[in-house]
Amino acid sequence: MKTTIRHMVSVTVACLLWAGCDAPLFHVNWDRQPTEPVSAVVGNESEPQAEQGQEVVARFPGDPEPIGPEPSDPELASLDDRIQKFVEQLGQKGKDRDAASRAVPREQPEAAGLPRNRNHSDTADSVREEQAALVPGISKPRTPMTPDAETVATGANTAVSVGSAGSPQPPRPEAGPLSPTAQEPRIELIDIRPMTSTGSPPEGDNPPSANQAVNAPEPADPPQNDLASLIRSLEQTIADHPQELADHFRLRLLYLATGQSEQVTEPPAEVDPVQGRMLSAACRTMTTVYDTMREPDSQGAAEALAAVEDLHRLLSERSPVIIPRVVLVTAVNSFGDYRPVSPARFAPGTPIHVYCYTEVANFRSEPTSDGRIRTSLAARLEVFDATGASVWQQSVGQIEDRTLTPRRDFFVPLEMRLPPDLPEGDYALKVTIEDKLGATTDQQRLTFAVGR
């Protein structure tokens, strides 16, 4: 049984050698002619040689020691002769191939990942690996682990470039093709065009840099022909839509910018009359104040104040009526000139005769047919005791004022005659003023007492 196994192993080794004789894996160094037959002991040179005429059996590491001499077989002898001749032929081919490879020197590849030339020791190791895979007992040789490619370590925040010394170099043409498993990175030239600026280039030779203060250029005055065309365009727009107040305001600002004072103060006739007067007063105020700033004199300042007063009156008419002050007085001379009751305490059992001085503001006025300015108000007085019950009241249905100039200071003296039978205690007076033209009202309260 052992003899049969050895025969099969020998045949297998011969077939492997015959099949892979042309492969680069089996480039064995055949410089040294075998001095021993193939059937000699493999891997153990320390065993004694067999005597002449005695059959030598090939053994491999790991095989058990033979128990006795194996029986001779004529077929084994003929097989050994054929294997011996085949090995000699392989040796001659190996010599020729090594001589040719030494005649053409090969340059070692510089780039990482290129296939390196196999030397004789590598080929012998490959043969042992193949034999170890087929024959048990032959251990696989250990090969040192080498990195596939050189790794260039780069630190953080380190500038790198394509042409630096640590960059991988392209392979030379005579180094052979790259391995499919380790491809070198390709370096290509890419045309990167600079971005075209859409705006105007910066002035000066030095471009602007980051984190630096810059000042925007002063805007140039618009050409007069552009303002004139804009004025004509707005005039045409107002002619098509005369009710738009915003277009009237823009047009008057352009008139003011171009020095056309007469057109600035002209009231528009196509809008609401109250809004038209307010727009005209506002434009007149701007014009007079601007003229006063350019030429400060008393006449210009007076005109500016008159324009401001007119605008103030018009704005007051747009606001709801208010009662700034109510005071119990015994006499009134004029606006703000009166004789107050202080303290506001009356003796019980006697009639109370006083006036309620009432100032009124933000009322609306209207012009009349005779060229005057008319104001129409209404008033109501009501007295409440400490429990909140109404003990006295009086109404004035019509308070009308006609003047040639608009009133700025407006007051109403409302007469009060309280009965003498008012019980002692604290009382509250509520004053109500109604603006009939503006359809707004306002109320104010004051307190007084009856008793010692």
Question: Over the stretch 420-432, which tens digit does the pLDDT of each residue have?
Answer: 999 999 999 999 9
Say which CATH architecture domain 319-450 belongs to: Sandwich (2.60)
Separation of alpha carbons 194 and 94, rounded Å? 62
Separation of alpha carbons 264 and 280, rounded Å? 7
Tokens of 425: 């205690």
Q: How would residue 32 be classed by pLDDT, with cut points 50, 70 and 90?
A: very low
| Contact (Cβ atoms closer than 8 angstroms) between residue 266 and residue 280 | yes
Separation of alpha carbons 435 and 318, rounded Å? 12
Over 80: is that where the pLDDT of 15 sits?
A: no
Tokens of 201: 């280039």
Mean pLDDT, the chain, integer:
72
Q: What backbone phi and psi angles, to 5 degrees, belong to 100?
A: -65, -40
In this predicted structure, which of 31-40, 61-70, 258-267, 312-321 has the lowest mean pLDDT?
A: 31-40
The candidate with the shortest Cα–Cα distance to 434, out of 368, 362, 374, 367, is 362
Q: Cα–Cα distances in Å, from 277 out to 245, 256, 318?
A: 12, 17, 12
369-379 confidence digits (pLDDT tens): 998 999 999 99
Task: Give the model's pLDDT for residue 287.
Answer: 85
In this predicted structure, which of 117-131, 232-246, 388-402 has the lowest mean pLDDT?
A: 117-131
Residues 6+ away with beta carbon under 8 Å from 199: none
SS3 for 394? Answer: strand
**Numbers of helices and strands, H then E, in the chain:** 8, 10
Average pLDDT over residues 104-114: 48
Q: Detail the DSSP E strand segments found in 255-335.
A: 322-334
| Contact (Cβ atoms closer than 8 angstroms) between residue 250 and residue 283 | no
Q: ∠ CA 363-367-373 to the nearest 5 degrees?
A: 60
Longest alpha-carbon distance in the chain: 172
Cis peptide before 222 (omega within 30 of 0): no
Task: Give the model's pLDDT for residue 409.
Answer: 84
Separation of alpha carbons 111 and 174, rounded Å? 12
Task: Give the model's pLDDT for residue 435.
Answer: 94
Task: Give the model's pLDDT for residue 352.
Answer: 93
